[in-house]
A = this chain, B = another copy of it.
Amino acid sequence: MARTDEKVRYAPEGKPFDYTPQTAALSAQNVIRVLEGRWKLVILFQLFGSNVRRFSELEKAIPGVSQKMLIQQLRQLEADGVVARIVHPQVPPKVEYHLTEWGQSLCPVLDKLLSWAEAAPADVRDRLIESDRSAANTQG
Protein backbone atom coordinates (compact mmCIF):
# COMPACT_ATOMS: atom_id res chain seq x y z
CA MET A 1 0.00 0.00 0.00
CA ALA A 2 2.84 2.37 0.75
CA ARG A 3 4.62 3.51 -2.40
CA THR A 4 8.03 4.04 -0.88
CA ASP A 5 9.62 4.13 -4.30
CA GLU A 6 8.44 7.71 -4.69
CA LYS A 7 11.51 9.85 -5.13
CA VAL A 8 11.85 13.00 -3.11
CA ARG A 9 13.73 15.42 -5.28
CA TYR A 10 14.61 18.13 -2.80
CA ALA A 11 17.98 16.66 -1.83
CA PRO A 12 19.58 15.85 -5.20
CA GLU A 13 23.22 15.76 -6.23
CA GLY A 14 23.78 18.03 -9.19
CA LYS A 15 20.76 20.28 -9.17
CA PRO A 16 20.85 24.08 -9.68
CA PHE A 17 20.49 24.46 -5.95
CA ASP A 18 20.41 21.79 -3.29
CA TYR A 19 17.20 21.50 -1.32
CA THR A 20 17.05 20.83 2.36
CA PRO A 21 13.64 20.37 3.95
CA GLN A 22 13.97 23.96 5.14
CA THR A 23 14.83 25.56 1.81
CA ALA A 24 12.34 23.36 0.02
CA ALA A 25 9.63 24.42 2.42
CA LEU A 26 10.69 28.03 2.01
CA SER A 27 10.57 28.12 -1.77
CA ALA A 28 7.39 26.06 -1.83
CA GLN A 29 5.88 28.61 0.50
CA ASN A 30 6.85 31.36 -1.88
CA VAL A 31 5.28 29.56 -4.80
CA ILE A 32 2.08 29.27 -2.79
CA ARG A 33 2.48 32.94 -1.96
CA VAL A 34 2.46 33.78 -5.68
CA LEU A 35 -0.74 31.78 -6.16
CA GLU A 36 -2.63 32.73 -3.03
CA GLY A 37 -4.97 35.65 -2.89
CA ARG A 38 -8.72 35.78 -3.18
CA TRP A 39 -8.85 36.23 -6.98
CA LYS A 40 -5.54 35.10 -8.46
CA LEU A 41 -6.52 31.57 -9.46
CA VAL A 42 -9.80 32.84 -10.88
CA ILE A 43 -7.88 35.34 -12.99
CA LEU A 44 -5.37 32.73 -14.10
CA PHE A 45 -8.00 30.25 -15.20
CA GLN A 46 -9.69 33.02 -17.15
CA LEU A 47 -6.39 33.66 -18.92
CA PHE A 48 -5.79 29.94 -19.46
CA GLY A 49 -9.05 29.88 -21.36
CA SER A 50 -8.58 32.95 -23.52
CA ASN A 51 -4.92 33.93 -23.02
CA VAL A 52 -5.64 37.63 -23.63
CA ARG A 53 -8.21 39.72 -21.82
CA ARG A 54 -8.79 43.38 -21.23
CA PHE A 55 -9.41 44.77 -17.78
CA SER A 56 -13.12 45.32 -18.27
CA GLU A 57 -13.53 41.84 -19.69
CA LEU A 58 -11.96 40.31 -16.62
CA GLU A 59 -14.12 42.52 -14.46
CA LYS A 60 -17.37 41.22 -15.91
CA ALA A 61 -16.09 37.68 -16.27
CA ILE A 62 -15.36 37.54 -12.55
CA PRO A 63 -18.51 38.25 -10.55
CA GLY A 64 -18.00 39.81 -7.15
CA VAL A 65 -14.56 41.25 -7.67
CA SER A 66 -13.98 44.93 -6.96
CA GLN A 67 -11.82 47.12 -9.18
CA LYS A 68 -9.36 47.56 -6.36
CA MET A 69 -8.89 43.85 -5.80
CA LEU A 70 -8.76 43.03 -9.48
CA ILE A 71 -6.04 45.54 -10.19
CA GLN A 72 -4.15 44.59 -7.05
CA GLN A 73 -4.09 40.89 -7.83
CA LEU A 74 -3.17 41.59 -11.46
CA ARG A 75 -0.33 43.86 -10.37
CA GLN A 76 1.03 41.21 -8.02
CA LEU A 77 0.85 38.52 -10.68
CA GLU A 78 2.61 40.94 -13.02
CA ALA A 79 5.32 41.66 -10.45
CA ASP A 80 5.81 37.92 -10.05
CA GLY A 81 6.22 37.49 -13.79
CA VAL A 82 3.13 35.34 -14.27
CA VAL A 83 1.08 37.76 -16.34
CA ALA A 84 2.06 40.66 -18.59
CA ARG A 85 0.30 43.95 -19.22
CA ILE A 86 0.03 45.73 -22.53
CA VAL A 87 -1.20 49.32 -22.76
CA HIS A 88 -2.59 50.40 -26.10
CA PRO A 89 -2.05 54.16 -26.35
CA GLN A 90 -5.47 55.23 -27.51
CA VAL A 91 -8.63 56.82 -26.26
CA PRO A 92 -10.63 55.41 -24.69
CA PRO A 93 -7.81 53.48 -22.98
CA LYS A 94 -7.31 49.81 -23.76
CA VAL A 95 -5.21 47.56 -21.54
CA GLU A 96 -4.72 43.89 -22.13
CA TYR A 97 -3.45 41.18 -19.81
CA HIS A 98 -2.00 37.87 -20.89
CA LEU A 99 0.05 35.02 -19.50
CA THR A 100 3.82 35.10 -19.83
CA GLU A 101 5.66 32.03 -21.12
CA TRP A 102 6.30 31.07 -17.53
CA GLY A 103 2.69 31.79 -16.65
CA GLN A 104 1.53 29.44 -19.38
CA SER A 105 3.77 26.72 -18.04
CA LEU A 106 1.81 26.92 -14.80
CA CYS A 107 -1.19 25.25 -16.43
CA PRO A 108 0.11 21.65 -16.32
CA VAL A 109 1.29 22.26 -12.77
CA LEU A 110 -2.17 23.28 -11.62
CA ASP A 111 -3.38 20.24 -13.51
CA LYS A 112 -1.27 18.09 -11.18
CA LEU A 113 -2.75 19.92 -8.24
CA LEU A 114 -6.27 19.15 -9.44
CA SER A 115 -5.34 15.52 -9.98
CA TRP A 116 -4.18 15.45 -6.40
CA ALA A 117 -7.52 16.88 -5.32
CA GLU A 118 -9.31 14.12 -7.22
CA ALA A 119 -7.26 11.51 -5.42
CA ALA A 120 -8.46 12.76 -2.06
CA PRO A 121 -10.71 10.70 0.21
CA ALA A 122 -14.35 11.19 -0.81
CA ASP A 123 -15.36 13.45 2.06
CA VAL A 124 -12.32 15.69 1.66
CA ARG A 125 -12.68 15.75 -2.10
CA ASP A 126 -16.21 17.08 -1.90
CA ARG A 127 -14.97 20.03 0.11
CA LEU A 128 -12.17 20.66 -2.40
CA ILE A 129 -14.43 20.57 -5.45
CA GLU A 130 -17.51 22.32 -4.18
CA SER A 131 -16.87 25.29 -1.97
CA ASP A 132 -19.34 27.36 0.00
CA ARG A 133 -17.64 30.37 -1.53
CA SER A 134 -19.30 29.59 -4.87
CA ALA A 135 -22.69 30.24 -3.31
CA ALA A 136 -21.80 33.89 -2.87
CA ASN A 137 -21.12 34.23 -6.58
CA THR A 138 -24.39 32.68 -7.76
CA GLN A 139 -26.39 35.56 -6.37
CA GLY A 140 -24.72 38.08 -8.71
Contact = CB atoms under 8 A, between A and B. Distances in A.
Contacts of A36: 32, 36
A29 B42 contact: yes
Nearest to A35: B32
Given A3-B104, A31-B117, A8 B131 contact: no
A21 interface: yes
Contacts of A127: 30, 80
A24 B109 CA distance: 13
A70 B66 CA distance: 34
Given A21-B49, A25-B46, 16 more contacts: A2-B101, A21-B45, A22-B134, A24-B45, A25-B44, A27-B114, A28-B110, A28-B113, A30-B128, A31-B117, A33-B131, A34-B128, A36-B36, A81-B121, A102-B120, A106-B116
